[in-house]
Amino acid sequence: MKSVRNHIVLFSALIFCSVCFGGTYSGGSGTAEDPYRIATDDQLIGLGLNTVDYDKCFVLMEDLDLVGKNLVQAVIAKDTDSSQSGFQGPGFSGCFDGNGHVIRNLKIDANQTTNSYLGLFGQVESTGVVKNLTLNTISLTTGTQSSYFGGIVANCLGHIDNCHTSGTIYGSGYSGGIAGNLEGGQIVSSDSSCTVYGDYYVGGLVGQNTGMIDSCQVSSFVSGIDYIGGLIGRNSSGTIQHSSSRGAVNGTTFNGGLIGSNSGGSIKHAHSSASVRGRNYSGGLIGISDSSVIEDCYAAGSVTLRGSSNSGGGFIGMSYKSTVSRCYSIGSVRGDVNCYYLGGLIGDIYDNMTIEDSFAWGSVTGGWDIGGLVGSAVIYENMNITLRNCYATGSVLGDTNIGGLVGIVHGINLVNSYSTGFVQGKSYSGGLIGRLFRGTITGSFWDVTASGMATSAGGMGKTTAEMMTMNTYTGTGWDFLGEATNGQEEIWRMCADGVDYPRLSWEFLRLGDFTCPNGVGMDDLVYLAGRWLSSTPATVGAADASRDGIVNLPDLAILSEYWGMQQIPDPYFVLHLKMDGDYSDSASGYPVVKKNNPVLVGEDEARVGTGSVKMLGYDQFEIPGFKGIVGASPRTCAAWIKTTNSQIDIVQWGDNSGDPWSFGVMSGCLAVDNYFVEPTRVNTGQWVHVAAVVSQGINGTCNLSLYVNGIPGSTWTSLTSIDTEATTDVKIGTHSEPGTFPTWMDDIRIYSRALTTEEIGRLAEAPPVFAGRDQVVRLPNSHQSTLTGQYTGAWIGTTVHWEQVRGSAGAVINDPTALTTKVDFSREGEYVFRLTVSDGTSTASDEVVVTVTNGEVGYWKFDGNFLDVFYYEGTPFGDPVFVNASNAKMGTGAIEFDGDDSVVIFGFPGISGTKARTTMAWIKTTGTVGPIVCWGDMNTAGGLWEMRVNIAGQLRMNLNGCGINGVMIINTGQWVHVAAVLPEGATNAADVLLYVNGVLETGGAVTAGAINTGVSAAMRIGADEASHYFTGLIDDVRVYDRALTAEEILAAMGQ
């Protein structure tokens, strides 16, 4: 009887509990047709406490904010006993529909506990479903004895669909942005941008997977020790398809841009652009892979191995018992001299491996067993390795066993493959294979010209011209598009001799380009129609764009998508911000997040396309998930900018406390990392194209080249100082001068390769002829300059001619028909020389300005910028405003001061002591006590040199305790030219000569005193150190280190 009563009491309690909690929802009955409605955070927490409802259905009715809900366990389906292994307690087996809503600020801090299975859900059972839900600003922190952590669910046996997470997860084992462990379940159409830290089995989406992942994306920074992947830490017999990762992966062993470790898995139509840094078994897509099928995948991120490490590949670090088909990698692989088994595609392969129809473009640098495609290919008895229809184009540098395609071979069947990259090693180096113990090499080639290698342990060496000729290959059985002798599968493609090396046909067909010529058009539609519904390799040919084995509607859809495309998109083009009305990235689809208030402007303020972005102060953009290009890997950053600011960061990423990459403007010039500076002013207030290119150097070093308006500038070679960390998201447009002048940017590009000079020129719309950068010649120290011209393009039988087109007769060109020639000068002035290049059919020209000066040391024109002819740039303080030519006296602009601003010339100390000098400017003012030009020491008698408007409206030279006044009133509101001269040998204020409009002033008041002008850190225009300010317009400020005559002053006024 007691037992019966107890059961009745328990049953009643359960009914009461269910009714009680059910009543706290906002309606519904818990069925699939009428789910419980959750509208508040308390109702969500209540669901977690009501375990009897775990098999019911729920729908979220509102966005929720869990700020202040400091939790130590999962919200729903908690692990009830952390001392026991495995999940303890009921899991969620119902349906939770987020209904497109967002839950923000889920914070679980279990750092002081041993709690495991942390996330919104602790465990979702095999019948459980979570869908249409976004978690923003997750914060999960765990103890060292805990495991299983995921933003949506810690351990998932069920189904997750259309879920999204962002935030930070600090775990130990089994940590992922969506799920810590996917145990036979499914995750589809979901993504995460969480930063995920852990020890082992750590992934941007899932820590460990034994289920199926389809159409998922990750943009994350993932860091740990072992089994670290951008998407999945460890994949065990799981299936991954149509999924991708980007960002950065840092680990020790088994690190991959997509998957850290893959065993028995099926990976199809997946890719990663994440950079990878680790030690052993690190790859751009997978760290280590065995017993798997990998098809139609690629990796674009760089791979860097630290210390004495092994098995690094642009695609896979190590692989065995697997098949890799139609895959490629384009990122560089880099290790030091103690690293071995490094390959552009796979570092180390053995035991029944097949690689077919695949390629690698990235450079490879390491110690020994280094190859452009595979580092080491070694098998033992009863094993087999086949490399078929593969190629590699990247440079290969190392010590021992260095090959353009494979570093070391011990038993391999190499068929119809080639390499073209430069090869350099100390011993056992070859154009195709570095060292061969045994194997069969059939129909395989290397480029003896490009590789620099006349020999190889296997294969046939050919010149570049021969390598670009189809007949070189067809005689050895290569199956090309358009020929029938060697088969109908049409594996290779070469539309014309002498244009390119052979390419795999699938590289084109994936974009609907089925046949020659290159591009997608009517010829491809006809080719597709001729093979419609074909389903065998011999009949499908190159028309199966969708790779489903049959020519059908999906292939027609791909052709339609790319209809009209003229060439294959550049896979190295990783970021392109056009700024044409939106902030989208048209290259890789990265998200763009605004910081502060950058403003999109229209076509009238754009340089390229239909818009640009205008930024002021701390305005910038961040690219979440894109960590830039790491190490010394090749890269190109390019943009159009328009600015008058002295210092801005155009593109920046990396660790500011370590090795950042900072491409921008410093002191008005183009610079990288504030150390490598191209001394050409780019803050001119006009549109300027700027670019920085890192290319492969020798012996593991790199080269850096800077370009302005498409013209090559400064270059540094064999650098070891560029070693960029991938620790922060890429940032665009950080100003170092908040609140100053706006900067416009347009057409911002990042490539993971070094663009050529010709390519940079096309981006910059550079003219085919360049007469050189403007020059300054200082008399009497020098009477000569060198004109150095350049031209690019397909000129045939060119002639060049230099001529003087402006300036006085005081210049003689030594050889007008030489591209580089000397010019002798006999007098100062501004000279313009024109270079004309012609080949009888085409003619182009460009001009260069040479300023010849006798004593002029500073010249600020204020034509829309603060630049000085002699590279002393002004820095604005306050808000001085440029005016245009209609309001200026000289040139195309002037500067207007309103009584509380100035321009400071840092680095220009002026003329000190009693050395002769001349200072002049045009002014327009109605004010008094207005400093025009000032430098020196205001704390020493006679230590100042300040040309100003005095209280009576006259010109005054104030020398601190002494000085001299003019007599003419100059604050008339009209343009007036003023000058002050200290003659050679003069030492007293009474010796100073003042000129107004070129006429010597006499009879003005004089306060005699010795002149001893001090050394200052900067010259000021429009202000002095005593807080006096000029009001009005100033134009054409000049400083000379000699005393000009009255005639020279008049001449300067008229220039």
Query: Which neighbouring-strand residues pair with 310?
Result: 340
Q: How far apart are CA 60 and CA 62, in angstroms?
A: 6
- Assess if residue 82 is contained within a domain: no
- Assess if residue 419 is contained within a domain: no
- Assess if residue 459 is contained within a domain: no
Whether 488 and 525 share a structural domain = yes
Query: Which neighbouring-strand residues pair with 341?
Result: none
As a whole number, mean pLDDT of residues 685-703 equals 84
| Residue 767: cis peptide before it, omega within 30 degrees of 0 | no
Q: How far apart are CA 30 and CA 838, in angstroms?
A: 83
As a whole number, mean pLDDT of residues 5-9 equals 36
Q: What is the CATH number of the domain that holds 593?
A: 2.60.120.200
Q: How far apart are CA 828 and CA 761, in angstroms?
A: 34
Whether 882 and 930 share a structural domain = yes
As a whole number, mean pLDDT of residues 770-776 equals 85
Please say which residue of 823, 854, 885 terminates a domain: 854
Q: How far apart are CA 502 and CA 578, in angstroms?
A: 33
Burial class (CB in 10 A: 0-12, 13-18, 19+), 191: buried
How confident is the model at residue 772, as a pLDDT?
Answer: 85
Q: How far apart are CA 620 and CA 650, in angstroms?
A: 9
Indicate if the pLDDT at residue 150 is higher than 80: yes
Q: How far apart are CA 12 and CA 18, in angstroms?
A: 10
Whether 617 and 755 share a structural domain = yes
Indicate if the pLDDT at residue 277 is higher than 70: yes
Whether 943 and 962 share a structural domain = yes
As a whole number, mean pLDDT of residues 485-502 equals 89
As a whole number, mean pLDDT of residues 535-547 equals 84
Q: 445-454 pLDDT, tens per residue?
A: 999 999 999 9
Indicate if the pLDDT at residue 10 is higher than 70: no
**Share of residues in the chain with pLDDT > 90 (%):** 62
Please say which residue of 854, 889, 909 terminates a domain: 854
- Assess if residue 837 is contained within a domain: yes
* DSSP calls for 94-115: SEEEEEEEEEE--EEEETTS--
- Assess if residue 1024 is contained within a domain: yes
Q: How far apart are CA 773 and CA 760, in angstroms?
A: 17
At 841 the three-state DSSP class reads coil
Within its chain, how far is the Cα of 562 from the centroid? 26
Whether 907 and 1028 share a structural domain = yes
- Helices 522-530 and 553-561, interaxial angle, to 10°? 170
The region of weakest confidence among 355-359, 407-411, 521-525 is 521-525
Whether 747 and 833 share a structural domain = no
Indicate if the pLDDT at residue 721 is higher than 80: no
Indicate if the pLDDT at residue 2 is higher than 60: no
- Following CA atoms 1041, 1046, 1047, 1048 in sequence, which dihedral angle do they give, to the nearest 10 degrees? 20
How confident is the model at residue 704, as a pLDDT?
Answer: 93
The region of weakest confidence among 608-612, 813-817, 992-996 is 608-612
User: What is the reported pTM?
Assistant: 0.72
Q: What is the CATH number of the domain that holds 513?
A: 1.10.1330.10
Whether 645 and 509 share a structural domain = no
Within its chain, how far is the Cα of 426 from the centroid? 34
What is the chain's mean pLDDT, rounded? 90
Whether 599 and 564 share a structural domain = no
Q: How far apart are CA 315 and CA 273, in angstroms?
A: 11
How confident is the model at residue 341, as a pLDDT?
Answer: 96
Beta strands 316-320 and 179-182 are unpaired
Query: Which neighbouring-strand residues pair with 996?
Result: 978, 999
How confident is the model at residue 625, as a pLDDT?
Answer: 76
Whether 624 and 548 share a structural domain = no
Q: Are 461 and 455 in contact (CB under 8 A)?
A: yes
* Cβ neighbours of residue 897 closer than 8 Å, sequence gap 6 or more: 880, 1022, 1029, 1030, 1031, 1032, 1033, 1034
Q: 179-226 pLDDT, tens per residue?
A: 999 999 999 999 999 999 999 999 999 999 999 999 999 988 999 999
Whether 753 and 842 share a structural domain = no
How confident is the model at residue 20, as a pLDDT?
Answer: 41
Burial class (CB in 10 A: 0-12, 13-18, 19+), 86: exposed
Q: How far apart are CA 151 and CA 165, in angstroms?
A: 7
| Residue 780: cis peptide before it, omega within 30 degrees of 0 | yes
Q: What is the CATH number of the domain that holds 798?
A: 2.60.40.10
- Indicate the helix (H) or strand (E) that contains 969: strand 963-969
Query: Which neighbouring-strand residues pair with 136?
Result: 104
| pLDDT tier, 1055 (very low <50, low <70, confident <90, very high otherwise) | low
Token pair of 788, please?
Answer: 């150095």
How confident is the model at residue 657, as a pLDDT?
Answer: 59
- Assess if residue 322 is contained within a domain: no
How confident is the model at residue 484, as a pLDDT?
Answer: 84
* Cβ neighbours of residue 939 closer than 8 Å, sequence gap 6 or more: none
Domain ranges, residue 1026: 857-1054
Whether 803 and 875 share a structural domain = no
| pLDDT tier, 17 (very low <50, low <70, confident <90, very high otherwise) | very low
Please say which residue of 522, 548, 568 terminates a domain: 568
Q: 612-670 pLDDT, tens per residue?
A: 999 887 888 888 878 888 777 889 999 999 988 888 889 998 876 557 899 998 878 89
- Assess if residue 78 is contained within a domain: no
- Assess if residue 297 is contained within a domain: no
Whether 886 and 899 share a structural domain = yes
Number of domains in the chain: 4
